[in-house]
A = this chain, B = another copy of it.
Amino acid sequence: MLKPYFKDQDGPPPLKAACRRVVRLEEVDALGIVWHGRYPSYFEDGREELGRRFGLGYTAFSAVGVILPIRRLTVDYLSPLKYLEEMTIEADLHWNEAARLNIAYRVFGADGRLAASGATVQMMVDTDGGLLLEAPAFYRDFQARWREGRL
């Protein structure tokens, strides 16, 4: 049993998104299973789906001069995915008061087994590279609606 990637904080439940993707030939290794280094791309698909669904994509932040570099990535590999297998990628944005995005991921194989899980931590940085101590206004508004269950 894996420990949760983020401690539950005193806040609303995570925001969730999911998408699907089929394993490409270029993604499998000589053993016919997905090379471990492809999972950051799978997680990114989930993260972008979260962004699309809730208006939190890279472009929403860059429009206000904020970029979202990844500070930490963790991947736990549980069961390999195979060529042509259709996976489901789930991404959960966890509540956090700080100017950061904490996202947990689960990748499921075609038969529903958990293939991998993981997490990313993203900081908010201005265009000069300075770390933001406070999230931009649009995101604080978003957080207020999230906390109040108005999303």
Contacts and interface: CB of A to CB of B under 8 A. Distances in A.
A99 interface: no
Interface string A29-65: 1111001110111001100100000000111000000
Nearest to A35: B26
A73 B74 contact: yes
Contacts of A45: 24
A47 B70 CA distance: 23
A27 to B, nearest CB: 9
A28 B28 CA distance: 8
Copy tally for this chain in the complex stands at 4
Contacts of A69: 36, 77, 80
A75 interface: yes
Interface of A: 24-26, 28-32, 35-37, 39-41, 44-45, 48, 57-59, 67, 69-77, 80, 83-84
Contacts of A58: 25
A69 B26 CA distance: 14
A40 B36 CA distance: 8
A32 B69 CA distance: 13
Contacts of A84: 57, 59
Given A24-B44, A37-B44, 6 more contacts: A24-B41, A24-B48, A25-B35, A25-B58, A36-B40, A70-B77
Given A28-B29, A84-B59, A37 B35 contact: no
